[in-house]
Amino acid sequence: MSLTKEQANILLRVAKESIQYGLETGQALKVEPSHYAEELQAIRASFVTLEIHNQLRGCIGTLTAYQPLVSDVAYHAHAAAFSDPRFPGLQRDEFTKLYIHISILTPPEPMSFESEEDLIQQMRPGVDGLILSEGMQKGTFLPSVWESLKEPADFLSHLKRKAGLSSNYWSDNIKVERYIAESISE
């Protein structure tokens, strides 16, 4: 389901308003989904990525859809600004420098592969987001990560490290799911 330009702009505005509201109150903006178009009320999973001067400033989201898209974006925009454990909470003077990127995910689908080489052959650069799991270890890369990791072998190697595994780790127990994302940026 593709959003219209107007709906995309509404989500960007909601994300920005939620961050601004967080600066003022310390809480995420509560939105009433029924006040928005049907497409924005759909139960969808999203990630909100924040950058300042092309440097990551926060990224929070979910792989599992559990609430209306407009609510999901408001919640994750606030969380990316104030709850990403890799960064201190956003400061007021950083707000005007923020670049907001929203990724709306399709439900993940399991991939079948016989080997690491087979998996690499099936990966679609620039299209696939991947979720890699091995026991309790788990990591994901959004499709936008292909912009900096263009080679499938590099993408997989870095994803394994993100999941807490060594870059050359392989086991027949590794599970990989793929999803695609509709991207919205300012």
Say if 185 falls within a structural domain.
Answer: no
Q: What is the pLDDT of residues 4-53, one digit of tens each?
A: 999 999 999 999 999 999 999 999 999 999 999 999 999 999 999 999 99
Query: What tens digit of pLDDT does each residue of 81-140 get?
Result: 999 999 999 999 999 999 999 999 999 999 999 999 999 999 999 999 999 999 999 999
Structure tokens at 54: 């092309």
In a shared domain, residues 93 and 171? no
Q: Are residues 101 and 131 in the same domain?
A: no
Compute the distance between CA of residue 51 and CA of residue 43 in angstroms, rounded to an integer.
26
Total number of domains constituting the chain: 2
Reported as a single tens digit per residue, the pLDDT across 64-96 is 999 999 999 999 999 999 999 999 999 999 999
Q: Which of 105, 124, 159 is the last residue of a domain?
A: 105
Q: Tell me: pLDDT of 1 over 80.
A: no
Domain check: are 33 and 97 in the same one? yes
pLDDT, residue 154, reads 96
Residues 46 and 89 in one domain: yes
Same domain, 79 and 59: yes
> How many other CB atoms sit within 10 Å of the CB of residue 10?
19
pLDDT for position 97? 96
Determine how many CB atoms are found less than 10 A away from the CB of residue 20.
Answer: 16
Q: Give how far Cα 142 sits from Cα of 2, 21, 121, 149, Å.
A: 18, 27, 18, 11
User: Domain containing 134 — which CATH number?
Assistant: 3.30.1490.150
In a domain, 39, yes or no: yes
122 burial via Cβ count (<10 Å: 0-12, 13-18, 19+): middle
Same domain, 9 and 69: yes
pTM flag (> 0.75): yes
Q: Which domain holds residue 163?
A: 109-180
pLDDT (0 to 100) of residue 114: 95
Query: Which CATH number do you get for residue 20?
Result: 3.30.700.20
For 40, phi and psi rounded to 5 degrees? -85, -10
The span from the CA of 2 to the CA of 12, in Å, is 15
Distance (Å, whole) CA 57 – CA 51 = 5
Total Cβ atoms within 10 A of residue 133: 16
Output the pLDDT for position 52: 97
Q: How far is CA 3 from CA 8, 17, 103, 118, in A?
A: 6, 20, 12, 34
Residues 126, 64 share a domain: no
Within a domain: 35: yes
Using pLDDT thresholds of 50, 70 and 90, give the confidence band for residue 186: confident
Q: Give 182's strand partners.
A: 104
